[in-house]
Amino acid sequence: MTPHWLPVLIAIPIAGGVLAPVFSRRTASVWGLGVLAATLGVALGLTGLLADGVISYPMGGWPVPFGIELRFDVLSAFATAVALISALAIWFSSGSQGRVTSPEGIAVLLLCAGGMVGFLLAADYFTLFVFLEILSISAYGMVAMSDERGAGIAAFRYLLMGAAASIVILLSVGLLYTLTGSLNMGDVRLRLPDGGLPLYLALGGFTAGFLLKAAAFPLHVWLPDAHATAPSAVSAILSGLVVKMGVIGLLRTPGLDQLHELLLWIGAASLLGGALFALVQDDLKRLLAYSTVSNIGLIVLGLALHRTGATIHILNHAVVKAALFLAAGAFIHRAGSRALEGIGRSMPVTTAAFAVGAMAVIGIPPTAGFTGKWLVTLGALHAGRPVFAVILLLSSLILALCYARFLVALAFRPARADIREAPVRMLVPILLLVALSLVLGLVGGRLAEFVGF
Amino acid sequence: MEILLVEFVPGIHLHLRLDALGALLAATAAVLWVLVAPSPGNGRRYATFLGLTFMLTLGVAFAGNLLTLLVFYELLSLAAWPLVVHDESEEALAAGRHYLAYVLTGGTILLLAIAFVTLSVGPAPFGTPVDLPPVGFVLLLAGFSVKAALVPVHGWVPRAHPVAPAPISALLSGLMVATGSFGMIRVFQLGAPTPVALLTTVAALTVITGGLVAIRTDNLKRRLAWSTISQMAYVPLALAVLDVEALAGGILHIIHHAFMKGGLFLCAGLLLHQLGVRRVSQMTGVAHRMPWTMGTFTLLSLGMIGIPPLSGFVTKWVIGTGMAQAGAWLSLAVLLTGALLAALYLMPIVHTAWFGARAEGPRADPSARTLIPVLAAAALTVLLGIGAALPGFPLQVARLAASGFGG
């Protein structure tokens, strides 16, 4: 009976998204929250059942590898984070006049969540591609929902680059099919040829496409504008969840081990590049966006050096970065602009939450960001490549100084008298995510056991 | 007594453990925080982080393995930052930036070191000697030396002390620097695989440089900060001798120094608050306006130099005998030079304050209540000196802590 829940898990948010436009502005958020709560419930239930092994569902009863297969494995458990963070983003925006909580906004947001859930459950490369398109196109739409100047251009640029990545990935899927005669992930792995140009083209295509979707340096150029201009709740989803689909796609790529050296250097470049660009940002959301590039670097480095560490960091960074973007949204909401000097004094709770989140994203032990950083450092030393451990630690040092500089502007400048603490509907999601990040930081041992590559 | 909390990274628990060494640091922190706490009117943020830093210092004291030590050590660095920049002046914020850059770099080196150690010997709980890999050992000492303010990574100390509020300077000098030395002691507790001549050299250099710069520094709090750099280097100097008695002296020095230097900084704070005196050159004759404050200052200075029977003498005596036993004559010479330098940078202050031209103006000693902390620090300096040999006093506990060391 259990496997039938797999298509249900995908169908809930997608159907919810399709139905969302029939609701009124007042009821749409409630609908969105309900749909995501149901998604979260099913995803949590399936995650609980993972102890008994990976859950597989052959669509329409066609046996694997001939039919379409859905699989719920450790990576698919990320669907819980997808549902939770999307729901908190809606809660955060509820009651505001922004487009996020309009019926269309909720529809796009739910479709994006559904695309991500489908992407996580897909067990063949074509289905993977289809859901990647669903989530990407809704993501372009979410960026365009912003009222900020330049949001349209940012969204369009994101669309162009994302579409290029999609085409490359689709071509690679085709190439892989001609090489192996199969699209099922498990089956492809068995039939993969030992080498040859076509194979390397396919692998290269997957890697380039997914690295672009993940915004790894130097393919990150679309990210800062898109994440900084999008509404903050959307930024939380984009930075926390959507870019993670790129690295999860890499984890699903066959023959990833052959790209060891490339991943090392791309990861290192991302780590340092992201941190250095973050250093010169004056805008909080751009700082957060570049710190995402840096953290993606950590994950990509981890793909080569310590896959468990990378996988744990996918989850931990999602929670932490979502909290930070929501906190930034609360600051901007109260300040009425991007000028945030001295605002922290009038918003002590949000500031404290932001500070804890910043510690986590830097990777100060024992917060959530530390586990991945520690494991990848160990991996680098174990592999006899200490230079990557040094790059990793250096970049988190640079990030620490970026966040410190911002916290000074926030909390150690003259207070702004006209500002009050963020409203409860914003505070609760932020505090929930921060609390969750503290818990995740303390249970690193358990997480590693769960991931267990 | 120990407790394993959560397994926060695979294979390593948050591990709390009580031993003689940790208990000494914790007790010192408890007393020092009580002395500096009565400074009302600094607001909520100050009170919050003052409490947090105390909690985290206790964490450093009770950490049961290297990574747990790092957790509390890093958090302590961060929690002290808002206290350092409490004034929010541009100068304080700039000093805060330096402070953060230094201590976080130190923490990062430590993390790398601990990763090295973990790869070769596992979580490394204190109390069971292990074969530290030489790279890890050197990196560990390098990481701890930033907060321990060893030359050439001492830069944050003379910047942060003058701008921080006086009670915070007292904590920085009394215990923040000491946590770095404490970390080094923990490393030696795990094992010392390589010759430690390098540590001796660096510590000796620090004792002498710190003292020399202190003589030439006019800003009172900065002079005291340089004195801390010079004095706290006794601990690594004693450690590097690899002698149990010298080690006991080093441990003892952390405690005795904390109260003396804490008291001196509080006195400096009172001078600034009552008379606006910041510089040694402004202190001519101030003893006539603030006899109680300067009396205490004089007593604490004598303790710092190491005049018997004050507590500073006891530590130097114990370290010195240990060094003599081990035949480390060069270290002993450095130790004595350090004491001489202390006389040279502290006695001129005392002299000008008492025997300089009388400062005009009414008596300006603060109320008796405000004086209690500095008087208590002075009383401790006398008590810990006279009673040093009594059972249950720090010297006995420090010997107990040192006796547990393998090498």
Tell me, letter by letter, the H, E, C secondary structure of A294-341. Answer: HHHHHHHHHHHHCHHHHHHHHHHHHHHHHHHHHHHHHHHHHHCCCCCC
Closest-CA residue to A366 (of B301, B70, B144): B70
Average pLDDT, chain B: 92
Of B9, B78, B101, the CB nearest to A445: B9
Provide the token pair at A159: 């669309």
Q: Residue A49 in 3-state DSSP? A: helix
Looking at the structure of chain A, the number of domains it has is 1
Per-residue pLDDT at B144: 95
Examine residue A388 and state whether it is found in any structural domain, yes or no: yes
Q: Say how far apart CA A439 and CA A436 lie, in whole Å.
A: 5
Give the H or E element holding residue A56: strand A55-58
Examine residue A186 and state whether it is found in any structural domain, yes or no: no
Q: Say how far apart CA A129 and CA A68 lie, in whole Å.
A: 13
Q: Between A418 and A171, where is the model more confident?
A: A171
Tell whether the model's pLDDT for residue B174 goes beyond 50: yes
The phi, psi pair for A130, rounded to 5°, reads -60, -50
The C-alpha angle with vertex B52 and arms to B51 and B54, in degrees rounded to 5, equals 65
Q: Residue A227 in 3-state DSSP? A: helix
Q: Tell me the chain A residues in contact with residue B111 when contact means C-beta distances shorter than 8 Å.
A: 374, 377, 393
Average pLDDT, chain A: 92
Q: Say how far apart CA A294 and CA A289 lie, in whole Å.
A: 9
Q: Which residues neighbour A205 within 8 Å (Cβ) at sequence distance 6 or greater?
A: A168, A169, A171, A172, A175
Provide the token pair at A71: 């699989």
Where are the extended beta strands (E) located within A139-270?
A: none
Question: Quick one: B194 exposed, middle or buried, by C-beta within 10 A (0-12, 13-18, 19+)?
Answer: middle
Instruction: Report pLDDT digits (tens) over A186-213.
Output: 888 888 888 788 888 999 999 999 999 9
pLDDT cut 70: percent of chain A above it: 100
Whether the CB of A449 is below 8 Å from some CB of chain B: the reply is yes
Q: Tell me the chain A residues in contact with residue B48 when contact means C-beta distances shorter than 8 Å.
A: none
Q: Which residues neighbour A385 within 8 Å (Cβ) at sequence distance 6 or greater?
A: A264, A305
Label each residue of chain B as H, E or C: CEEECCCCECCECCEEECCHHHHHHHHHHHHHHHHHCCCCCCHHHHHHHHHHHHHHHHHHHHECEHHHHHHHHHHHHHHHHHHHCCCCCHHHHHHHHHHHHHHHHHHHHHHHHHHHHHHHHCCCECCCCCCCCHHHHHHHHHHHHHHCCCCCCCCHHHHHHHHCCHHHHHHHHHHHHHHHHHHHHHHHHHCCCCCCHHHHHHHHHHHHHHHHHHHHCCEHHHHHHHHHHHHHCHHHHHHCCCCHHHHHHHHHHHHHHHHHHHHHHHHHHHHHHHHCCCEHHHCCCHHHCCHHHHHHHHHHHHHHHCCCCCHHHHHHHHHHHHHHHHCCHHHHHHHHHHHHHHHHHHHHHHHHHHHCCCCCCCCCCCCHHHHHHHHHHHHHHHHHHHCCCCCCCHHHHHHHHHHCCCC
Q: Which whole number is the average pLDDT over B381-405?
A: 88
Q: Say how far apart CA B98 and CA B1 lie, in whole Å.
A: 38
Q: Say how far apart CA A444 and CA B6 lie, in whole Å.
A: 9
Query: Position of tokens 């001549």?
Result: B197
Give the H or E element holding residue A417: none
Dihedral of alpha carbons B299, B305, B307, B310, sign: positive
Provide the token pair at A22: 């029939």
Per-residue pLDDT at A101: 86
Q: Say how far apart CA A38 and CA B286 lie, in whole Å.
A: 75
pLDDT cut 70: percent of chain B above it: 99
Whether the CB of B96 is below 8 Å from some CB of chain A: the reply is yes
Whether the CB of B71 is below 8 Å from some CB of chain A: the reply is yes
Examine residue A103 and state whether it is found in any structural domain, yes or no: no
Q: Which residues neighbour B254 within 8 Å (Cβ) at sequence distance 6 or greater?
A: B24, B25, B28, B178, B181, B182, B232, B235
The phi, psi pair for A184, rounded to 5°, reads -65, 135
A391, A397, A443: best to mutate for the B interface, most B CBs within 10 A: A397
Q: Which whole number is the average pLDDT over A86-108?
A: 89
Of A365, A400, A413, the CB nearest to B71: A365
Q: Say how far apart CA A148 and CA B159 lie, in whole Å.
A: 43
Chain B nearest C-alpha distance from A325 (Å): 22
- Please report, as a single letter, which amino acid is at residue A413: R
Q: Tell me the chain B residues in contact with residue A404 when contact means C-beta distances shorter than 8 Å.
A: 81, 97, 100
Closest alpha carbon within chain B to A348: B45
Per-residue pLDDT at A453: 59
Provide the token pair at A308: 């468990």
Q: Which residues neighbour B232 within 8 Å (Cβ) at sequence distance 6 or greater?
A: B148, B149, B177, B178, B180, B181, B253, B254, B257
Instruction: Report pLDDT digits (tens) over A264-291.
Output: 999 999 999 999 999 999 899 999 999 9
Of A400, A411, A444, the CB nearest to B9: A444
Provide the token pair at A60: 């329409």
Chain A nearest C-alpha distance from B34 (Å): 26
Examine residue A437 and state whether it is found in any structural domain, yes or no: yes
Q: In Å, what is the CA distance from A92 to each residue of A287, A367, B93?
A: 21, 23, 34
Q: Is residue B120 a contact partner of residue B191, using CB atoms and an 8 Å limit?
A: no
Instruction: Report pLDDT digits (tens) over A21-66.
Output: 999 988 999 999 999 999 999 999 999 999 888 999 998 888 877 8
Which DSSP category does A46 fall into? H
Closest-CA residue to A236 (of A369, A363, A89, A93): A89
Of B14, B70, B115, the CB nearest to A377: B115
Q: Say how far apart CA A352 and CA A340 lie, in whole Å.
A: 15
Provide the token pair at A418: 């006209």
Per-residue pLDDT at B362: 86
Q: Say how far apart CA B287 and CA B299 lie, in whole Å.
A: 13
The phi, psi pair for B151, rounded to 5°, reads -60, 135
Q: Residue A282 in 3-state DSSP? A: coil
Q: How confident is the model at residue A308 (pLDDT cuts 50, 70, 90)?
A: very high
Chain B nearest C-alpha distance from A213 (Å): 29
For chain A, the residue count is: 453
Provide the token pair at B51: 């409490």
Q: Say how far apart CA B88 and CA A408 lie, in whole Å.
A: 9
Closest-CA residue to A379 (of B118, B131, B143): B118
Examine residue A300 and state whether it is found in any structural domain, yes or no: yes
Contact at CB, B115 and A441, closer than 8 angstroms: no
Per-residue pLDDT at A150: 85
Q: A293-297, B234-238, B386-390: which has the minimum mean pLDDT?
A: B386-390
Q: Between B191 and A305, where is the model more confident?
A: A305
Which DSSP category does A345 fall into? G
Chain B nearest C-alpha distance from A355 (Å): 11
Per-residue pLDDT at B228: 95
Instruction: Report pLDDT digits (tens) over B242-282.
Output: 889 999 999 999 999 999 999 999 999 999 999 988 999 99
Window A:61-100, CB contacts with B under 8 Å: none
- Please report, as a single letter, which amino acid is at residue A206: F
Q: Tell me the chain A residues in contact with residue B78 when contact means C-beta distances shorter than 8 Å.
A: 359, 364
Q: How confident is the model at residue B407 (pLDDT cuts 50, 70, 90)?
A: very low
Q: Say how far apart CA B271 and CA B324 lie, in whole Å.
A: 40
Provide the token pair at A407: 């916290």
Examine residue A19 and state whether it is found in any structural domain, yes or no: no
Q: Say how far apart CA A441 and CA A435 lie, in whole Å.
A: 10
Q: Say how far apart CA B236 and CA B310 lie, in whole Å.
A: 22
Other beta carbons within 10 Å of A54: 12
For residue A122, list its beta bridge partners.
Answer: A70
Q: Tell me the chain A residues in contact with residue B13 when contact means C-beta distances shorter than 8 Å.
A: 445
Whether the CB of A364 is below 8 Å from some CB of chain B: the reply is yes
Give the H or E element holding residue A88: helix A78-93
Q: Tell me the chain B residues in contact with residue A378 when contact means C-beta distances shorter than 8 Å.
A: 115, 118-119
Instruction: Report pLDDT digits (tens) over B320-370.
Output: 999 999 888 999 999 999 999 999 999 999 999 999 888 888 888 888 888
Tell whether the model's pLDDT for residue A156 goes beyond 90: yes
Q: Tell me the chain B residues in contact with residue A395 when contact means C-beta distances shorter than 8 Å.
A: none
Tell whether the model's pLDDT for residue A137 goes beyond 90: yes
Examine residue A320 and state whether it is found in any structural domain, yes or no: yes
Per-residue pLDDT at B406: 54
Instruction: Kindly report the pTM of this predicted structure.
Output: 0.94
Instruction: Report pLDDT digits (tens) over A6-21.
Output: 999 999 999 999 999 9
Q: In Å, what is the CA distance from A380 to each residue of A309, A374, A398, B106?
A: 11, 10, 19, 20
Q: Between A243 and A256, where is the model more confident?
A: A243
Q: Say how far apart CA A361 and CA A293 lie, in whole Å.
A: 12
Which DSSP category does A52 fall into? G
Of B10, B74, B81, the CB nearest to A445: B10
Segments forming the whole domain that contains residue A435: 255-453
Examine residue A70 and state whether it is found in any structural domain, yes or no: no
Per-residue pLDDT at A254: 85
Q: In Å, what is the CA distance from A427 to each residue of A31, A288, B132?
A: 21, 19, 47
Q: Say how far apart CA B356 and CA B362 lie, in whole Å.
A: 17
Q: Is residue B294 a contact partner of residue B353, using CB atoms and an 8 Å limit?
A: yes
Q: Say how far apart CA A182 and CA A236 lie, in whole Å.
A: 36
Per-residue pLDDT at A1: 62
Query: Position of tokens 């397994």?
Result: B7
Per-residue pLDDT at B364: 86
Contact at CB, B100 and A364, closer than 8 angstroms: no
Q: Tell me the chain A residues in contact with residue B96 when contact means C-beta distances shorter than 8 Å.
A: 408
A424-437 burial, b if ≥16 CB within 10 A, otherwise e?
Answer: eebbebbbbbbebb
pLDDT cut 90: percent of chain A above it: 74
Instruction: Report pLDDT digits (tens) over B40-69.
Output: 677 888 999 999 999 999 999 999 999 999
